[in-house]
Every structure is written in C-alpha cells, then in structure tokens.
Amino acid sequence: MRTKEKVKSGNVKPNKASTKPVKKNKIREEKPGKKNIQNKSLKKQIKAINSSLIYLTKDKQKELGVLSVQKDDGVFFCNDGSYKKIYMFKPATLGNKRAAFIKALTDRYNNRIRFSLCARNINNTVSSYMFMTVSFQADSYYDVRKKIVEFESSFLKDICAYLEIGISPCSIDTSLSFINMMISGEMKVYSSDILFQKKSPNLFLPLNDSKDGFFTVGKQQGVSFVGKNVLDPSEDVIRYINLLEGTYYFVVEIQGFNEEEVHLYNFSLDSKYCKRQEDDDSIHHINMSYYFTYLSHKSENVKSVYDKSFKWFDSKGIQIMPGIGCEKEVFFSDCTFGLTDFHNFQVSSPEIAGKLLF
C-alpha cells in the first residue's frame, strides 16, 4: 500500500484560485448623468403640455361638441376625438388659385380641412368671412402640438407664401365671437372664460326644426342643403349665393387620399363596375363634402330660395338635397366651423372642389 507523503510547504506552490476569495461581480450603479436629466426634463415637458388642456363644463361640452381647449395655441379637442384649429382669411385672396390651393393641400397633407364661408347680403351689400378648420389626430396633445407646428411651418412657408395667400390663426376668443355671430347674427366679443363657468349663458340660440327641411333659430327661419354629386360646375356658386338677401353659409370640406386608398378606390371600381382606372399621377382623387344653409327674417324669402336653389344648382351640374332629418346637425356644424362634426364625403377632384370654393 502506498503511504501518504507529507507535502512540504516549500516544494509545492499553493493554488491561487483556492487561496484567494472569488470576487463577486458588483452591479454598477449609474449616477444620474446628462442623458437621465434630459429624459426627466422631457417627461416633465410632455406632462406639462398634456396638462395644459382645460376641460369645459358638461353643459358647454354638450352644446359646442368640444371636450377641452388649449387657450394659448387656440386648439379645440372635440367629441369625435380629433383636435381642431381654426384659421381665417379673405375669400378674394384665392382668386384663380383655388384649384392649385386645394391640390397643394391634399397632395401634402392627409388632414380633414374644412372651408366655411359666412356671408350676409343686406341691401345688396355683401360682407363675407372665410374660415379654414384643420383636424389633427394623435394619442396625446404633446404629439398633436408637434404636428400642428410642422403643419403651420410648411403650410405658411411652402403653400401660402408661394401662392401669396394670407392666412392667420384664430384664438379661442375670436372663434367663439364668430360662432356667436353666425348663429345669432350679432357680433359680440366673447371670452373663453364662458366655457369654464357653470352658470353661464348658452352660446347657441334654441333651434326648432319642422322635419320638412326648414327650421327656426331665434327670429330667423332657415333651410339647409346637403351636397351630393358634382359633375362639373359651369358657374361659381358664390355668384348665385351673393344675389340672395339674408345670411348664408357655404361649406366645402376636403381630405386627400393616401397611396393605399387610391389603390383600394381603383380596385373597388374594377370589382363593382368592371371599370379599371389605371394609377395615373394626372388623375387626382380627393374626398369632398359640401353644404349650404340659408337664413332670413322673412319666411317668404326662405321658401323662395328653397324652390329656386334646386333648379339653379341642377342647371349648373351640382346635385343637392334638402337636409330633412339632419337640419340641426348641418346648421350647427356649419356655424361652429366643424367643431360639431357632420360630413358626407364623396370622391371628387381638386378642380371641382376649387370651383365650389367661392
């Protein structure tokens, strides 16, 4: 049998691994650096911007179709989940650039854009105002605000400056004042504070509809029309409307197609009607809605306009129908520049929309 030999400490080197304790990997604690500080600053900024929306009272939310507003930016957060901003300009500045203006907007942006004309003819003297309402979609106001900044930067610089069209944004106060004027016929200066007060007068006069296309609001009687198909208007609508004594609103709303929607539209034509339309840059499709509302203190004027409008619009290649059953929705949507939503989109072109655009 082998005997155990004594190992002298001087003859064998000790095993380093066995004699030294194993060091455990410590998790390095990162000190808050520049990146962390920037992230915290960004989070605070996002929270502050999202919290800057001020909610209306429940009565005003129901009346105006708006949940909250951002006073400094002039933005409305509406019941339909969209954010809307209103701009103002003079109709005469468009001149013969209307089709080019529509095409530029629908080529570059996919936003819903509504043009609202409010005009009044008293003793053959016409005064008119033009408004443009742009809708934005996003998950938070922080994201919407970035979209608005980008839109205004490119819109004012690349489109308005190039076409020499002067457009300016409306504040919440200015928007409310014009909304009141369009409904009551009187221009009063309004403060946005009225939106947040529980005991405040209504913005709108009560509307009573007679279920036959006519309605009364305050001391005025009115009638609303909803546009259907437009073949090719042979004359500007504004020339006809300017002859009407009273107050009238004419609205054109547009939205551009994206590439996928163009393909789906062409596929639908082919599958339903065996009408193939090849993708062609020269053919430009857009979504379009249009409406017409007329108000007068004289009931005989309203009935006369009701009878004559069908014949006149039809003779110009424009098909309209009375707003029976939706008079209230059309009227308040017209008067609020689309804050209260109503739309009836159909496929059209920038050229046709331009001819309708006053």
**pLDDT tens digit string along 263-286?**
555 555 555 545 555 554 545 778
User: Which backbone phi and psi does 158 adopt, to 5 degrees?
Assistant: -90, -30
Strands (E), 231-311: 246-256, 286-296
228: how many CB neighbours lie within 10 A of its CB?
13
- What is the largest distance, in Å, between two alpha-carbon atoms of the chain? 134
Nearest of 98, 328, 96, 118 to residue 241 by alpha carbon: 118
Tens of pLDDT along 114-146? 999 887 777 666 667 889 999 999 999 999 999
Which pLDDT score is estimated for 213?
A: 75
204 versus 219: the higher-pLDDT residue is: 219
Question: What is the distance of C-alpha 241 from the center of its chain?
Answer: 25
Q: How many residues in total does the chain contain?
A: 358
Q: What is the mean pLDDT of residues 101-120?
A: 88
More confident site: 66 or 236: 66
Can you tell me the mean pLDDT for 32-38? 67
- The pLDDT, as a whole number, for residue 4 is 47
H or E segment and range at residue 327: helix 327-335
Q: What are the pLDDT digits (tens) for 155-202?
A: 988 888 888 888 899 999 999 988 888 777 677 788 888 889 888 777
- In the chain, where the domains are located: 58-356
Residue 20, pLDDT score = 55
Residue 306: which of 248, 231, 230, 235 has the closest Cα?
248
Q: Who wins on pLDDT, 259 or 38?
A: 38
Q: Using one digit for the tens of pLDDT, what is the confidence trace for 10-26? A: 555 555 555 555 555 55
Locate 246 and state its tokens.
């009273």
Strand, helix or coil for residue 236: coil
Contact 215, 221 (CB under 8 A): yes
The mean pLDDT of the chain is 79
Phi first, then psi: give them for residue 230, nearest 5 degrees.
-125, 115
Helix-helix angle 172-184:327-335, to 10 degrees? 140
The DSSP letter of residue 157 is I
Task: Supply the pLDDT for residue 159.
Answer: 87
Q: Note the pLDDT of residue 9.
A: 47
Q: Mind listing the pLDDT tens digit for each residue in 326-339?
A: 888 888 898 899 99
pLDDT of residue 73: 95
Task: Tell me the two tokens of residue 241.
Answer: 């409307």
CA–CA gap between residue 77 and residue 83 (Å, rounded)? 4
Residue 29 class from Cβ within 10 Å (0-12 exposed, 13-18 middle, 19+ buried)?
exposed
